[in-house]
Amino acid sequence: MPLAFVAGDDRAALGLFGWIIYTILVFTITIILTWLYNNTMGSLVVVILAHFFFNVGSNIVVNMFGLVNNMTYNFIGGIAGVFYLILIFAGFGYKRFSRRDESEIPKIV
């Protein structure tokens, strides 16, 4: 069961808008971590470190210093994640999102 369904967790009280924002955040992080994995020749160390630093950063900003609440952090993180994806896509193109050879990638028309 996802932690968001456990009473007392911050994500359990997000509401519909909060769930949408949180889902955008999770999807963008997943795509960025996949891109990191594919572009570091399959290095799990890089992906684990990136995930670790994201979690540490969120805990510092939200829990330790209380700079923003969880909802605001998810909203800003979701927007930043989409922005990073646009930068990655603009800088490297769609071919860098896959480890397949260029001949195996389906053509986007």
HEC profile of 41-100 = CCCHHHHHHHHHHHHHHHHHHHHHCCCCCHHHHHHHHHHHHHHHHHHHHHHHCHHHHCCC
Residue 27 covered by a domain? yes
Report pTM: 0.74
Instruction: Kindly report, residue by residue over 41-61, the tens digit of the pLDDT.
Output: 888 999 999 999 988 988 888
Q: Which amino acid is at 6?
A: V
**What would the pLDDT profile of 54-104 be if each residue is shown by its tens digit?**
889 888 888 788 888 878 888 888 899 899 889 988 887 766 676 667 776
DSSP letter at 18 equals H
Total length of the chain:
109
Domain assignment present for residue 109? The answer is no
In a domain? residue 4: no
For the chain, the domain total comes to 1
Q: Phi-psi category of 101—alpha, beta or left, where left has phi over 0 and alpha has psi -120 to 50?
A: beta
Whether 29 is covered by a domain: the verdict is yes
The answer to whether residue 88 is domain-embedded is yes
* Residue 1 placed within a domain: no
Which amino acid is it at 89?
F
In a domain, 21, yes or no: yes
List Cα–Cα distances, 34 to 10, 51, 64, 71, 82, in angstroms. Answer: 26, 11, 29, 25, 14
What pLDDT digit, counting tens, does each position of 9-43 carry?
Answer: 766 677 778 778 888 888 999 999 998 888 888 88
Domain assignment present for 7: no
| Mean pLDDT computed over every residue of the chain | 81
- Structural domain span for residue 67: 14-104
